[in-house]
Every structure is written in C-alpha cells, then in structure tokens.
Amino acid sequence: MDETSYELELPGFRFHPTEEELLDFYLKNTVISKKLRYDIIGFINIYRHEPSELPGLAKIGEREWYFFVQMNRKHGLGGRPNRTTERGYWKATGSDRKIFGLSEPKRVIGFKKTLVFYNGRAPRGSRTDWIMNEYRLPDKISSQGSLKDVVLCKIYRKATSFKVLEQRAAMEEEMMKKTTTHQELYHSPLLSPSIDAVNSISVDDFEIEDCHVSMMKEKSSSSLQLPASNGALPELEVPKFSMDCSQDSIWTPLRTPWLENILNNVVMFSNSPVAL
C-alpha cells in the first residue's frame, strides 16, 4: 500500500479546503505544473457527464466533489465557454465574485462563478438542485503557467433549509388530515347503510310498502269531490214520504176495510197544513 492511499483511508479524514486554499494552493500549483504530494483532485471533463455521475468519478468527497477542468470553448481560446451536457446545461447565476486573500485583503487571488444545472435545453430547461462553484485564477497568473485555461470546480447539491422541510412536513400532514376526513365521511353509517342493514331488507317489506302506496292512491281517488260552481251549493233533493202501501206485496194479504180507513186518515193528516 502506497503512502497516498494510506493517508486517504485514515478514519475521520475530511477534505474541506477554504476558497483561498483552493485557489492559492491547489489550482495555482496545478497551473504552474508543480507536483503535489497527494493526488486528491483529478482532471476530468465534467461536461461529458451528468451531475449525478460526478460523485462516483471524484477521488475524494462526501457532500462536495472537486475536479480540475480544462475549459471547453466554442471558438477556441478566448471564446465563450461551452457548458452543455448530453441531457442539460450549466447556467451561470450572476457575475463573477472576487476572492481576496486573508493575509493580504487587497490582493485578488482569483474569481468564483456559481452555476446551476438545468435539465433540457435553454431557455426551457428545468432547474435542479445541483450547484457548481467554478474557481479560476487571475489572467496574469494563469498566463504564466504551462496549463492554460484550467479551472477548479466544486460540485454539490443544494441543501434544503430546515424551514422548507417544516413547510413540506406541514403540507403533507394537512393532506393526510384531508384524506382521513374524506374516508371517514365516505364510510359514515349516516351517509351509507351498512351491509347488515341492506341484507335485513326482505321482499315482504317492499310488498307492504307497495300495498300501502296503492291504498293511498285509491283513497285519494275515491275521496269526495264537490262539483265546481260559482260558490253556491246545489239544492238537496229530499224524498217525499208516502204511506201508499197498496203496491207492496207484503201488505196485500193484510188489507182490510178497517186498515184502509186508518191509512187513508194518516195520509190525509200528513198532507194537510198545520196551523201554529
């Protein structure tokens, strides 16, 4: 086992360089072809790969991955950089930011460009959470080295803030409550009859109900209906009282002169006016 692999496999070892260390040590020594003791950052053309493939191609890193990249320009040296991949493109956000040294606050040691990866093709690509910080040296220093137009790229995924996570959790909880309430209402016995209640209904119940309905219809149709008029009721016809029983077959055998005389007197009395 060589010294490099032994050092990198030490438990608890982390690679978290500052921006000044990235520019003034790693990138500067690489551009001037000064060999470093440990080969921690490798050369790769990141634009031939999608962001999700880059962590597996880095020599070291857990949440941040570093690469030396030879810039690919559209029209040769000095042209516009080509940052497109097979499935998307890296888009710059804002202008370059100057990086100053800690020991010499007025000295510009390099520049930092922040880019975001988009799926698809511009200008209708969809933004992802993959971020790249591209570090480059000042032109004066870069022109002195043997390697021209080399930059150092740090790739990482944007961390989701705790506030955003809380909002997502609250939205998911609200959706769960709505779903549960909907299910409870759907299965409520007040809105939907139970299976036992449905099975307990027999054919006789329907026959009784149909019979009751038909009786109600007959009753309503046979009810007394007064004839339509102008508000005046028709005069009632009262049958006249008659004591003539001569045509009745029951009284014929009992007819005697004495009985006929009594009946005649009764008829005459009923037809005569009574003076009050």
3-state secondary structure of 74: strand
Q: Say what the pTM is.
A: 0.56
Task: Report yes or no: 60 and 8 within 8 Å, Cβ to Cβ.
Answer: yes
Peptide bond into 138 cis (omega under 30): no
Helix (H) or strand (E) holding 65: strand 64-70
Residue partners of 137: CB distance under 8 A and separation at least 6: 23, 27, 28, 31, 109, 110
Domain 3-159 belongs in CATH node 3.30.420.480: no
Show the CA angle centred on residue 269, arms to residues 265 and 273, nearest 5°.
155
CA–CA separation, 111 vs 98, rounded Å? 5
User: Strands 64-70, 42-43: parallel, antiparallel or unpaired by DSSP?
Assistant: parallel
CA–CA separation, 60 vs 14, rounded Å? 9
List b or e across 235-251, with b for residues whose CB sees 16 or more CB atoms inside 10 angstroms. Answer: eeeeeeeeeeeeeeeee
Distance (Å) of CA 160 to CA 64, 93, 119: 15, 19, 19
List b or e across 47-59, with b for residues whose CB sees 16 or more CB atoms inside 10 angstroms. Answer: beebbeebeeebb
What was the pLDDT predicted at 117? Answer: 97
What was the pLDDT predicted at 155? Answer: 97
3-state secondary structure of 43: strand
User: Strands 126-136, 150-157: parallel, antiparallel or unpaired by DSSP?
Assistant: antiparallel
CA–CA separation, 109 vs 101, rounded Å? 6
What was the pLDDT predicted at 170? Answer: 84
User: Strands 108-119, 126-136: parallel, antiparallel or unpaired by DSSP?
Assistant: antiparallel
Q: What is the pLDDT along the chain (276 residues), one digit of tens a residue?
A: 454 444 456 677 788 899 999 999 999 999 988 888 888 899 999 999 999 999 999 998 889 999 999 988 776 666 788 899 999 999 999 899 999 988 888 889 999 999 999 999 988 999 999 999 999 999 888 777 777 889 999 999 987 666 777 777 888 888 888 877 766 666 655 555 544 544 544 444 444 445 454 555 555 544 445 555 555 555 555 555 454 555 555 555 556 676 677 777 765 655 555 444
What was the pLDDT predicted at 172? Answer: 83
